[in-house]
Chain A
Amino acid sequence: MSAGTAQTPASAPRPNPSSARAHKQLLDEQRDERRRTFRRPQRTVNTTRANRTGLGSRHLGLGISLSGGFFALFLLWRFAVQWDRYPNPLPTLAAWIVLLVATVATLIVVNRLADRMPTWMFLTVLAIGEIVVGLDLAGYGRGDAVDTYPTAAAAVGAFFAILVSVRRGREIVAATLVLGAVIAAGSLTAARDNPQVLVPAILTISLCVFPPLLGVSIVRGFRRMVQRELDLVLVQSTISQPSSAVGMLASEELARIDLDAETLLDDVATGRTALPLSPAKSAAAATLATQLRLHLIEGRRETWLHHALTESEFLGPAVNLDDPAGLAGELSPTQRDALLLAIWLLISDTDGAEPTVSLVFGPLGRTGGHSIGEMLRFPIKMIIEGVPRRRVDPETWQAIRVVGPHIDSVRSGQLHVDIECSIDNPADA
């Protein structure tokens, strides 16, 4: 993927600002390019899809619903308190009854849904919400009753929070904002001549708007975490690969080329394609032959780390690997696991900033005469940009120690970690 792109800023201890900027731009471009071309192997997609139920945040969504329920309880209590002040409390009572029934029904439906709520159902829920708002605002009157505020209408916010796990966040945000605007319009018309009413109105609106908005934000963070974890476990399976192997993408590519060749040859054999071949067809045959040649030799020299990085949506764009001798393949499974985890922790533990990790393997040290049982040694140089030394998690250092003893230093804003790696000599095996 990016052999040789890992620059060694150590040779230029104090890079001038423009070259540093150019370096940064280069890294950004590489990152964008890899992000654009990222593709998961089909097998991975299928495995993940088959197991997706339960990865949704349904359990979390139920918790958010319950949490929002407490705010609804508060509003219900408030409704009971201001019962005597309503000109006519019946519409608001009806609104509460509709809301309770709808909440129970929605909770049941959401827990039965396999994946995502269909749009018509979502719109139905929104419509019920609007009905509740309408009833409540009708009962609340035209503001002639002092000290009464919308209650059931505000509780619709908590009702919408039930949907955070089954619809996109922005849809719920939009619905909530509309709801908030309607209640604001309804209660602020009453507050025109009395600023004292303004604040309880703000309180009502915030009680209405916050549960769904906070729910959306929590679910979004949760989903991001699940995505990252999933990405890690998917590439963690590379650690038990032989020292070099064919990656899943290359394997699928070879199967595809074989299938294309089969189709072409079959077409020729059955006469569907006339002989002699048209220029387009013969060019296709030439391309296939070239691809097939390349794929029959390719892949055997790539190490597990290369596969892990190309198959990872998070690691791939952020890591530059320079391992011409394939030394990563010689690491033991424990060392591989630790190395992968260390990189992952370095990259995932940042908010917003996009760190870059450059890995340089080797060269293999010359230790004079080799005696049986002696370990082979080689250095791994890690250059980390965008993560200050103090923000590196202790667990990361622990993982790096498993790979080998290390020395770390900060040079021109980059964190350098030099790991001295010992492996069993493959020749002794």
Chain B
Amino acid sequence: MPRIARERDRVLRRSARVTGVTASVTSLAYLAVPGGPGAPVTLLVGALLVLILGCQYVLGQSGALRWVLCIIVLGNAAILVVGSNHRVDVGLTGVEEALIGSLAAGAISCVAPVLVVGPQRQLVLFGAFGVTVASVALVTMSAGASVLPLALTVCGWAALSLGGWWMAQSVPRVLQRVAAIGRAHHAERHASELEAQRRQGARLLHDTVLATLTLLAHSGVGVSPAALRQQSGDDAHLLRQLRLGALPTPSRSGVYTLEPANTSMLGSTLESVKQRFGRMGLEVDWHGSGQVLLPADVLDSFLLALGECLENVRRHSGVTRADVTISDDDTTVRAMVTDAGKGFNLSAVSTERLGFAESVVARLRDVGGTARLFSSPGSGTTVVLEVPK
């Protein structure tokens, strides 16, 4: 996978940059210590180090081979400058030895992590290591100095090459793990979607729950406490079944089913709505044919809208009886909900305030249906709901 390689290379070149910059800054610090090389050498090496720092920074961004080569050339030049300008009588001072060591073992060897992948780059790695060791050996031996810089050089290169190589192995490993988590999570997302579908699909259940919650929101006023308790118990039971993963089939009222079905008979489900409102003190009289087949989603919306209309009658009309007339033709099923209550002035009360737009109109529009509202003060209210067959 190309992205894994990209990420791996990015980690490697960032490591190269942070190592190299740290070592170069340390080398600059050595130049400031008294007892170091003479002023001209200090200035020259300082300038070289600043250039090396720039290359190391850019290397951290691009990882290109040309910056690697720049660092190697500049670094080795700095080593040779330091090593060839010592005082003949003293040999290399401690400062100079440490400076050579940190240049070779840190500032130059920082290129190792970006050279561990690919045969061509590995070749460059060995070449760079050879050149650096050779120049360190040359300056220390010609000055008769200790083997400290050489030992440090070898250790630094070994540490950074091995560390880089190891990192190059770590990245694909961990990314494969990440990909495995992605696969597991894919299954989780699928499960979550099914769960949401199941819950949203249980529309009739939620309709009755919503109706009961609305009653409770009005503190249960106007309904006998026993009936409300009974209704709450039924609904809590249904919700528990839903939570436990079943598609609940209400056993007590026994008339409607929540099993998914492509088409359902309207008549059998109307009875449950009637019972529900009966318990809350609104007598509903059905007229006309109940034997109409409707697609499941249309039926759900239709029943929800009908239930909301009846709930409005129960709460606002001031009467305890409503009539529902169902009729159908070739294309449409129509329900007319009529009450003889106090009615209201349509222009005075906005339909939004009745929750009409949200709960009835929007739900019907989802399935291609319409709702119309007729009322005037003192002469009751009539709602006509229409859905396509």
A-side residues, CB < 8 A to B, are: 41, 43-44, 46-48, 50-51, 54-55, 57, 59-60, 62-64, 66-71, 73-74, 77-78, 195-200, 202-203, 206, 210, 213-214, 217-218, 221-222, 225-226, 229-230, 233-234, 236-238, 240-241, 245-246, 248, 250-252, 254-255, 258-259, 261-262, 264-266, 268-271, 275-279, 281-283, 285-286, 288-289, 292-293, 296-297, 299-300, 351, 395
Contacts and interface: CB of A to CB of B under 8 A. Distances in A.
B163 A264 contact: no
12 contacts: A43-B192, A70-B158, A196-B94, A196-B95, A221-B15, A237-B188, A255-B243, A266-B232, A268-B216, A271-B229, A285-B214, A296-B203
B101 interface: yes
Interface in B162-179: 162-163, 165-167, 169-171, 173-175, 177-179
Contacts of B177: 51, 54-55
Given A63-B162, A198-B34, A210-B106, 17 more contacts: A43-B188, A46-B188, A63-B170, A74-B151, A196-B35, A210-B22, A221-B15, A237-B186, A237-B189, A246-B196, A255-B199, A258-B239, A264-B213, A277-B219, A285-B214, A292-B213, A351-B61
Given A57-B170, A262-B240, A251 B235 contact: no
Contacts of A233: 178-179, 181-182, 185
Contacts of A289: 210, 213-214, 217
Nearest to A293: B210
B279 interface: no
Contacts of A47: 181, 184-185, 188
B152 interface: yes
B220 interface: yes
B195 A255 contact: yes
If over half of A's interface residues share one DSSP class (helix, strand or loop), that class is named, otherwise mixed; here it is: helix
Interface-centre pick from A195, A265, A351 (highest chain B CB count, 10 A) = A265
- Nearest 6 pairs of A and B residues by beta carbon: A63-B166, A233-B182, A269-B233, A67-B163, A286-B217, A70-B159
B196 A299 contact: yes
Interface size class of B (residues with CB under 8 A): 35 or more
Contacts of B184: 47, 50-51
B333 interface: no
A104 B242 CA distance: 56
Nearest to B180: A51
Interface of B: 2-3, 6-7, 10-11, 14-15, 18-19, 22-23, 26, 29-30, 33-36, 61, 93-95, 98-99, 101-102, 106, 148, 151-152, 155-156, 158-160, 162-163, 165-167, 169-171, 173-175, 177-182, 184-186, 188-189, 191-193, 195-197, 199-200, 203, 206, 209-210, 212-214, 216-221, 225, 228-230, 232-233, 235-236, 239-240, 242-243, 358-359, 362
Contact of B162 (A70, A270, A292): A70
Contacts of A259: 239, 243
B212 A54 contact: no
Contacts of A300: 200
Given A44-B188, A233-B181, A66 B166 contact: yes
Contacts of B174: 54-55, 57, 59-60, 222, 226
Contacts of A64: 163, 166
A248 B22 CA distance: 46
Contact of B192 (A41, A78, A281): A41
A282 B216 contact: yes
B214 to A, nearest CB: 5
